[in-house]
Amino acid sequence: MRIIKGFFRNMGIFLFAGMFSLAIIFLVKHPDLLQASVLNATEISLIKNNQRDIAYKQSENLLDIFFSNSVSKFPITIVLNHSNEISFDMQNISWQCPFTIFDSNQETTVISIDCSTFDYNQSILLVPFDWKAQDVLVEEAYYIDWGKKNLSIGNISIQTEHSR
């Protein structure tokens, strides 16, 4: 009886170790599943104090775009301005809301985002890009409602006189 219990216990440990190692291998091969970005308390207060509708930050070749809780009309069109040397990794974009890339050329990328609900503490889009300099700019954001309505944009990755 003791041998049978030991056998089943060892088989359970062996099966658990195998499943655990398969899960680790899966996550290593699909690192985009682990990407997420959230706002800290300072960034949330910065967005609220400056009355920004959209905020963005750049770090480690990732562009995070956030919506504040004041955003209520959709779809929103976002225009990214960037160097012609930057290439976006469109296959590994993480998103909270459905999006469509309307136009992408050497200097601008136009994205339409349409969502009914979202968590404003987490990034709406997390866009990886390939280049050493951090110079992607969210140039314009707007929605159409009896005409074009521009949204207020703020860069929270760097502290400047305009972001305080």
Range list of β-strands (E), the chain: 54-59, 62-67, 76-81, 87-88, 94-95, 99-104, 108-113, 125-130, 137-144, 148-150, 153-155
pLDDT tens digits for 99-135? 988 888 888 889 999 887 888 888 888 888 887 666 7
Q: Is the pLDDT of residue 160 over 50?
A: no
Bridge partners (DSSP) of residue 56 are 65, 155
* pTM over the 0.85 mark: no
| End-to-end CA separation in angstroms for the chain | 72
pLDDT tens digits for 26-62? 766 665 555 556 677 777 778 888 889 998 988 778 8
At 32, is the secondary structure helix, strand, or coil? helix
